[in-house]
């Protein structure tokens, strides 16, 4: 053995730590072997234990599955599978539709939109689908309508034909005829004013408003829409509180519509798609709450080439390069920027500069998701015959231009609240805000810096200078308040009271200013007399 052990080693040399007689070395090797052996054993044990646990878990899972199957009938199983399949299909369809829109190319945004949309549908009793009057079918979303009709709670759908100021009257009429075959439809023009409060609303029905009047920044059709919603609130014996979801593609004017109904800037508005990102709730009055939803983004329209004077192009990219060339939109290095051109085209489309609209199809067929029964029910609950009449009246006025006389060339902001203003207030305004020039008899107020909220109005008045303000009695009239929609009477009274207080305050201020100036004039003359006598 010793011979063997030393066979491969140089004679006289031993490994480090080993004594020449080999005693200590032998015992150390033995303990090391024992240690390795124990380690091997422990790891094998652990491995076996792990395997046993895994096998046990698998067995438990199989047993649980078997138990579940035992309790589940074939019918319920099939139902469950079908339900899951339908849900999946619905989600796929909505996502596919959203896929068409370039701005929503990232999955997270699409999912976030879908989630917000489901929330709006879930919480609402009535859904207003806002359509751009220039291309109502192009921005109608059947999947969305289907989802609303399938949702629990017998939700109601109303179409709002917005931006009617951008389309000829005859075309709006045709669209109203067409859409009303399916769902209650209200013609609307949202306020496009920029101020924060007191957004003007014209009470002239849309059908009676002349095209030039519609071009003003005031809102049209709000009363009709409020009446339709009010009819729904009053449907039962007790007047109910309702939540109204406002949905539609981006930039169709959802937020503008809400602001116009609220008459203040409750939601952000912008000519860039995707301004609204999350659901937002706005209290309209005691009975109605509005829910603003984010929209989805349509691709640019190739029909706009005439507007830019581009005669021929092969692809969208060629078109955009030609637009960039026309508009002088260049990137660094002098390359024409397609992105900038695309933004400009979209901005022109949204702001209504591109003249484009579609006509309704000659014949009408009900889409698959709407049955004759649904059409009848929707028509009945909103008392649609009245709405049709109101739409017709608006169109009538639009054609005759009657309302121009009614409103004169006043600023939209002033139109609706003119009866609350007095000439004294205007002079006080002028002196206080330095906005415009007023002349009443011998009195003239000269103003230079326009107030932010009165910019447009002031400009008009300055253009007409010198302008005489007639002393018309425009105190708040109870009769007028009583004639407004009952839903609005509370607000009208509150605002009348507020305005009365404001008028009083301003009149007092003006009176004290006038008396001050008179005193100083008297003072001056007194001094002059004094100096003369000196």
Ligand X SMILES: Nc1nc2c(ncn2[C@@H]2O[C@H](COP(=O)(O)OP(=O)(O)OP(=O)(O)O)[C@@H](O)[C@H]2O)c(=O)[nH]1
Cis bond upstream, residue 466 (ω within 30): yes
Residues making contact with ligand X (CB under 6 A): 162-163, 165-166, 189-190, 192, 248, 250-256, 269-271, 273-276, 294-295, 350, 352
**Whole-number minimum distance, CB 351 to ligand X, in Å?**
6
The sign of the CA dihedral 114, 118, 124, 129 is positive
Measured CA to CA, the distance from residue 435 to residue 165 in angstroms comes to 29
Backbone angles phi and psi of 22, in degrees to 5 = 80, 5
The residue count of the chain comes to: 534
Of 218 and 431, nearer to ligand X (C-beta) is 218
First to last CA, the chain: 148
Q: How far apart are CA 125 and CA 235, in angstroms?
A: 13
Q: Is the Cβ of residue 296 or residue 427 nearer to ligand X in the bound state? A: 296
In the complex, least distance from residue 260 CB atom to ligand X, rounded to whole angstroms: 8
Q: Closest separation between CB of residue 138 and ligand X, Å?
A: 14
Q: How many CB atoms lie within 10 A of CB 393?
A: 17
What angle (nearest 5°) sits at the alpha carbon of residue 73, between those of residues 67 and 78? 115
Q: In this complex, which beta carbon is closest to ligand X, that of residue 219 or of residue 322?
A: 219
- Helix, strand, coil percent content, the chain, rounded in steps of 5: 55, 10, 35
Nearer to ligand X, 225 or 503 (CB): 225
**Between 132 and 429, CB nearer to ligand X:** 132
Neighbours of 377 (CB within 10 A): 13
Least distance (Å) between residue 344 CB and ligand X: 14
Q: For ligand X, give the closer residue by CB, 351 or 512.
A: 351
Nearer to ligand X, 18 or 114 (CB): 114
Q: Cβ(157)–Cβ(145) under 8 Å?
A: yes
Min separation Cβ 192 and ligand X, Å: 4
- Helix or strand or coil: residue 494? helix
Shortest distance, position 188 Cβ to ligand X, whole Å: 7
Min CB(262)–ligand X separation in Å: 12
């Amino acid at each position: 053995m010793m011979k063997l052990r030393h066979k491969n080693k140089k004679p006289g040399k031993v490994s480090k730590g080993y004594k020449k007689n080999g005693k200590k070395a032998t015992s150390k090797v033995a303990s090391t072997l024992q240690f390795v052996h124990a380690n091997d054993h422990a790891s094998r044990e652990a491995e076996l234990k792990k395997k046993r646990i895994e096998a046990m878990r698998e067995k438990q899972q199989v047993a649980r599955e078997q138990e579940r199957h035992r309790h589940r009938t074939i019918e319920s199983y099939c139902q469950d599978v079908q339900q899951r399949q339908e849900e999946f299909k619905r989600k796929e369809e909505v996502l596919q539709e959203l896929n068409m829109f370039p701005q929503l190319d990232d999955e997270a945004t699409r999912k976030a939109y879908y989630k917000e949309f489901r929330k709006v549908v879930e919480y609402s009793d009535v859904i207003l689908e806002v359509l751009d009057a220039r291309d109502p079918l192009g921005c109608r979303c059947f999947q969305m309508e289907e989802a609303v009709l399938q949702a629990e709670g017998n939700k109601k759908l109303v179409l709002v034909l917005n931006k009617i100021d951008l389309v000829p009257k005859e075309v709006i009429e045709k669209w109203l005829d067409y859409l009303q075959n399916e769902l209650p439809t209200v013609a609307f023009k949202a306020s496009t004013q920029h101020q924060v409060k007191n957004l003007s609303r014209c009470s002239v029905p849309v059908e009676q408003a002349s095209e030039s009047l519609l071009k003003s920044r005031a809102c049209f059709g709000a009363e009709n829409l409020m009446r339709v919603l009010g009819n729904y609130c009053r449907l039962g014996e007790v007047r109910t509180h309702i939540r109204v979801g406002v949905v539609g593609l981006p930039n169709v004017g959802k937020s503008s519509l809400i602001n116009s109904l609220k008459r203040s800037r409750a939601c952000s508005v912008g000519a860039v798609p995707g301004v609204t990102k999350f659901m937002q709730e706005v209290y309209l009055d005691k009975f109605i709450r509005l829910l603003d939803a984010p929209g989805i983004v349509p691709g640019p329209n190739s029909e706009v080439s005439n507007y830019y004077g581009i005669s021929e192009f092969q692809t969208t990219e060629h078109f955009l390069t030609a637009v960039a060339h026309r508009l002088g939109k260049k990137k660094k290095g002098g390359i024409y920027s397609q992105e900038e051109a695309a933004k400009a085209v979209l901005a022109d489309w949204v702001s209504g500069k591109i003249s484009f609209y579609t006509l309704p199809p000659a014949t009408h067929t009900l889409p698959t998701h709407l049955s004759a029964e649904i059409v009848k029910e929707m028509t009945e609950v909103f008392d649609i015959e009245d709405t049709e009449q109101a739409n017709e009246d608006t169109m009538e006025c639009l054609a005759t231009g009657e309302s121009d006389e009614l409103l004169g060339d006043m600023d939209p902001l002033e139109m609706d609240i003119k009866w609350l203003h007095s000439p004294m207030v205007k002079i006080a305004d002028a002196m206080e805000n330095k906005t415009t020039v007023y002349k009443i008899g011998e009195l003239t107020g000269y103003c230079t810096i326009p107030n932010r909220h009165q910019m447009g109005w002031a400009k008009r008045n300055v253009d007409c200078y010198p302008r005489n303000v007639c002393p018309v009695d425009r105190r708040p009239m109870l009769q007028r308040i009583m004639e407004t929609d009952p839903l609005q009477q509370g607000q009208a009274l509150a605002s009348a009271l507020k305005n009365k207080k404001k008028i009083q305050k301003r009149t007092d201020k003006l009176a004290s200013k006038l008396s001050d100036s008179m005193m100083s004039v008297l003072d001056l003359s007194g001094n002059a007399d004094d100096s003369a006598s000196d």
